[in-house]
Structure 1
Amino acid sequence: MSPRRQLPSSNLTPADVSRLKVLVVDDHAMTVRLVTDVLRAAGVEHVHGASDGLRARDLLSAIHPDIIFTDSKMPHMDGLEFTRSIRRAAIHADPRVPNPQVPIVMVTADRSVRDVHIARLAGVNEFVIKPFTPAALLSRIQLVLTKPRPFIISEAYVGPDRRRRVELNYSGPLRRTSDPDEVADGVERDQARETIGVELEAMRRLVAARGGVDRATLQMIYRVMQHTTFRARQVRDRAVERASLSMLAYVDAMGGPDACDPEVIEAHFETIGALLKTEALDEATAAKLAQDLERMVAMKTMLRRVAAA
């Protein structure tokens, strides 16, 4: 098995990651499991789950987590009140909260300015927007642990310094007409390829951890391939763009995880990985690798149509 890769510019070593203790709080068991599988596939060995803020708060003293991922909307105690209860312990000691300064990442579908402002006032460090990808989760770990912000304790506010601009980790297609169509800078290209590689490795480990491709995993693969297509297009990596588009076309044609052949998915992973590793790969060879995938998808699609007829 190849060594676990890290996100670009990360100072965290695989040993650091393996020792982390992470608490995942969400009232949807499938989300807890998905986040847990992503983190464990990335090398985090100690991941604990809770279904709401009350249960999570009762676990804090036993777990002593290094980082918390919490949903915003949950029964009994939501993510905002859970965060406030942790931060309040910095002023009024609470035996249930051993570390009031523990980094808290909110995993939420709420991305409005108002929602972000309220969460920041509660003392949230960072955000991951649903639906998420492996790199989104891993990048938040990297950020809160390698670039910690000063912790503020005052009558008006308790939590991480809010003066740094909050990033919502959106990595999909650019949306403003003023955004550039392509990025040709060599540094940007290297960073894009490294990020694609990290996502790819995370997905392969996730598939292995879950024992195959279920619906939730397939949805994440689809999002990762959308992001891969975008990143490859931005840096003019045509072969990687074609390979990721081929994966998207295959998933669309199959219509669900039950019909997707794991060998076809792995073939796409293998090809994209080969394209990323070989800088000196000539255009003709790279184009042939992408073309082979397209032919495979065309054949699988035809066979499915014949079987359905």
Structure 2
Amino acid sequence: MLPSANMASEDLSRLKVLVVDDHSNTVRLISDVLRAGGVGHVVTAQDGQRAREVMRLTYPDIIFTDSKMPVMDGLELTRSIRRAAVTPDPKVPNPEIPIIMVTGDRSERDVEIARLAGVNEFVIKPFTPAGLLSRIQLVVKKPRPFIISETYVGPDRRRRAELTYSGPMRRMSDPEEVADMVERRATRETISVELEAMRRLIQARGGADRATLQMTYRVMQHTRFRAKQVRDEMIARASESLLSYVDLMGGPERCEVSVVEVHFDAIAQILGASESDAAASQAVIAQLESVVRLKTAGRRRAA
């Protein structure tokens, strides 16, 4: 579940998060996601060395750091922070600070290297608001014991890091059985929170741009995946409608923002409706599919 579902807004508003990345667009995107999610104070740095200076001056509560950066990368930054638990460092006020690695590396070797350095959690690129905010939930609500030994300094590594997307329910390969009502409702709650986080992000950035449209596409992929897991046909069809629209238009950056907003509103209507009122949800889906046919008619004829 996302922080906004389980963490009080005042808890998030008190947090100070340091974002470290050498790409200004990524820094802005992560910062916007965090602020839109309710984080009260976000500070930034372009590399590990500058991050250490920012830490000395601002005393952050959590760090999001890219894995690969010039001057000092995320791994070396993490090692320098954890070393301060043994050898005090004036630039590291809290050697136990939660560190979340933002990375495109998925191999077991890369993960193990990062864990040995003392990383708490991972966010895999390309990320979504849920991917970032859920890691705050983990490090704040489920902190790991901090270990200081001759061979390792950092958070307890015994809990396996989940790198791939993991929906809350069953895998698609599991037997086709009817998902129980509690499971479906929990999934709908998660989807609702994620869509609200996406809305807030778009609003915080002053409207949809290339980055947020691409992120919306990934959020819809996750939404469809979750809905199919719990046999939620209406939500699956609504998310599939937007994904089909994006594909027919030739990519997220070629989509009309108004069509994206119509899909967000439709999914919100379905989530707010009684599951027993299938007719109302069917009508919403029919409207969506009509909008997509209208907006993609020219491209269909050209194809």
TM over 0.5: yes
CA distance in 1, matches of 2:270, 2:46: 41
1:242 aligns with 2:237: yes
Q: Provide the rounded CA distance (Å) in 1 between the counterparts of 2:165 and 2:105.
A: 13
Equivalent residue, structure 1, for 2:134: 139
Q: Percent identity?
A: 68
**Paired position in structure 1 for 2:293:** 298
Tell me whether 112-121 or 182-191 shows the greater mean CA deviation. Answer: 182-191
Query: Do 1:240 and 1:290's aligned partners in 2 also have CA atoms closer than 8 Å?
Result: no
Which residue in the other structure is 2:190 paired with? 195
Question: Which residue does 1:92 correspond to in 2?
Answer: 87
Aligned-partner residue type, residue 213 of structure 1: A
In the alignment, the residues of structure 2 paired with residue 10 and residue 245 of structure 1 have an alpha-carbon distance, to the nearest angstrom, of 25
Pairing 1:225–2:220 present: yes
Structure 1 position 30 matched with structure 2 position 25:
yes
The residue type paired with residue 142 of structure 1 is: Q
Match of 1:44 among 28, 39, 45: 39
Which of residues 63, 70, 88 in structure 2 aligns to 1:75?
Answer: 70
Equivalent position SS for 1:34: helix
**1:181–1:32 CA distance, 2 compared to 1 (3 A):** farther
Displacement after TM superposition at 1:274 (Å): 1.2
Contact 1:246 1:293 in 2 (8 A): yes
CA separation of 1:51 and 1:183: change in aligned 2, threshold 3 A: farther
1:32-88 Cα distance to aligned partner (Å, 9 max, x none): 111111111111121112111111111101121111011111111111100000000
Report the alpha carbon displacement of residue 29 of structure 1 after superposing the two structures with TM.
1.4
- Show the counterpart of 1:110: 105
Determine the C-alpha separation between the residues in 1 that align with 2:271 and 2:48.
Answer: 42
**Root-mean-square deviation (CA), in Å?**
2.3
Query: 1:150-189 counterparts in 2 under 5 A?
Result: 150-168=145-163, 170-171=165-166, 178-180=173-175, 184-189=179-184
Question: What is the rounded CA distance, in whole Å, between the counterparts of 1:8 and 1:30 in structure 2?
Answer: 24
Count of aligned pairs: 303
- 1:3 corresponds in structure 2 to none
* One-letter code aligned to 1:184: A
| TM-score computed with the length of structure 2 as normaliser | 0.93
Q: In structure 1, how many angstroms separate the alpha carbons of the residues matched to 2:47 and 2:78? A: 12
**What CA deviation, in whole Å up to 9, does each residue of 1:138-169 have, x standing for no partner?**
11000100111110112211101111222225
Gaps of 5+ in 2: none
